[in-house]
Amino acid sequence: MTTDLSAHEALFTGHVLDTACRLFAERGPAGVSMYAIAAAAGVDPIDFRRVFPSKLDLLHRLVLDRTRTLVEYEPAAKEPDSPVEQMRALIRRHIEFNCRYRTELELRRVLLPTLRAISPARYRELHRLMRTYHDRVHRLIERGRADGVFSPYGESREPVTATTVLQTLESSLNWYEPDSLMTPEQLGDVYEDLVLHHLLGVARD
């Protein structure tokens, strides 16, 4: 019975979050009321408020769930052993994630300072997830450096860090538009070239 209830609540929560995200993308979070989300999702307002007492609760859960989607990703097949191929897969996955969850990522930018000020526990929860992902990139860079396939130094000879790589990948949110002529796959080509060859110094074939 507990398993069925958990599955039901997971479906309920997922449906509500997907609906909220669609409305936020159309109108912006300030232009969407909690009532409008419940109505658009077709759920009982009492059940809705039980799960999400406030808009901050909903925004936090939405951003947290999407961040987990990236950080806790499990590949269907074994990851390639080469640091270059692992980084290539990470870049592609990250850019695909940016394209698919653009609204949620923009919400995260706005939400983090708010959480830090008024809900430190939630801020730490989200920050720990992001730090886990950062550390994964750091370890991959260090492995590639040790194997001699990455030469991660910029023009200033300052080492290229995981932070640099992640900021570069996140820059796609600043200029790429989903309705542009460039497809997500082509965007992945751009960032693969930028990160692997320009930042990490991987030799071209």
**What's the whole-number mean pLDDT along residues 100-108?**
94
C-alpha–C-alpha distance, residues 139 and 84, integer Å: 13
C-alpha–C-alpha distance, residues 192 and 205, integer Å: 14
To which H or E segment does residue 74 belong? Answer: none
C-alpha–C-alpha distance, residues 140 and 150, integer Å: 10
Asked whether the beta carbons of 37 and 48 are under 8 A apart, the reply is: yes
Q: Domain containing 11 — which CATH number?
A: 1.10.10
Domain that holds residue 31: 1-53
For residues 156 and 62, state if they share a domain: yes
For residues 62 and 147, state if they share a domain: yes
Please write the tens of the pLDDT for every residue from 149-197. 998 765 556 788 999 999 999 999 999 988 778 999 999 999 999 999 9
C-alpha–C-alpha distance, residues 68 and 65, integer Å: 5
C-alpha–C-alpha distance, residues 116 and 173, integer Å: 22
- Contacts for 108-115: CB closer than 8 Å, 24+ residues apart: 108/63, 108/66, 108/67, 110/29, 111/59, 111/60, 111/63, 114/56, 115/60
Instruction: Give the pTM.
Output: 0.87
Out of 36, 53, 70, pick the residue that ends a domain: 53
For residues 35 and 62, state if they share a domain: no
Please write the tens of the pLDDT for every residue from 28-50. 999 999 999 999 999 999 999 99
**What pLDDT is recorded for position 180?**
79
Out of 53, 69, 88, pick the residue that ends a domain: 53
For residues 69 and 113, state if they share a domain: yes
For residues 135 and 77, state if they share a domain: yes
Please write the tens of the pLDDT for every residue from 138-148. 999 999 999 99
For residues 102 and 183, state if they share a domain: yes
**What's the whole-number mean pLDDT along residues 59-71?**
95
- Within a domain: residue 205? no
Q: In total, how many domains does the chain have?
A: 2
Quick check: helix, strand or coil at residue 161?
coil
